[in-house]
Amino acid sequence: MAREKGGPVPVYKSLPIYPQEALEKQMEGYVIVEYDINKNGDPIDPRVIKSKPSGFFEESAIQTAKHFKYEATPEEFNNIRTKVIYNIAENQPDSQETFFAYLLWLAI
């Protein structure tokens, strides 16, 4: 995969589990998750920066971010910080197992 906006190179991105309550209520929204990436390419300390609506998608987004993987980085690029935006698509899936996540990587 190519480096996105000069940032870390993702080698694995998973999709979050669509929360059952949000699915039943046909809710849409987004979550902005920020985390650091260690020298092994693992996300550490994922945290929610903003979500709308609040209280539905945050836990799923955090758990998903923990499973991302990036290329290992040289020592001078240790502990890179990145933000991920999960935007819930207007067309919700028939399955509750996954939902479409659009990832936008922002340099900070």
pLDDT, mean of residues 76-94: 55
* Residue predicted with more confidence, 48 or 108: 48
pLDDT of residue 5: 52
pLDDT, mean of residues 82-104: 43
Could you give all domains of the chain from N- to C-terminal order, each with its CATH number? Answer: 10-102 (3.30.2420.10)
CB hemisphere CA count around 37 (13 angstroms):
26
pLDDT of residue 59: 92
Please determine, for residue 70, whether its predicted confidence score (pLDDT) is greater than 50.
yes
Q: pTM of the prediction?
A: 0.67
* Residue predicted with more confidence, 60 or 8: 60
Please determine, for residue 1, whether its predicted confidence score (pLDDT) is greater than 80.
no
- Cα of 34 vs its chain's centroid, Å: 8
Calculate the average pLDDT of the chain. 70
pLDDT of residue 7: 67
Nearest by Cα to 66 from 83, 45, 87: 45
